[in-house]
Amino acid sequence: MLPTAENLAAFIQADLDTATATLALDFATAVVSDYTRGVGFEAAEPAGGLGHVILQVAARLYRNPDQLRTQAVGDLSTTWAEPGWSGFTIGELAVLHRYRRRAG
* pLDDT tens digits, 9-68: 999 999 999 999 999 999 999 999 999 999 999 887 899 899 999 999 999 888 876 666
Three-state DSSP state, 26: helix
**Strands, E assignment, the chain:** 41-42, 45-46, 70-73, 76-79
Quickly count: other Cβ atoms within 10 Å of residue 31's Cβ.
18
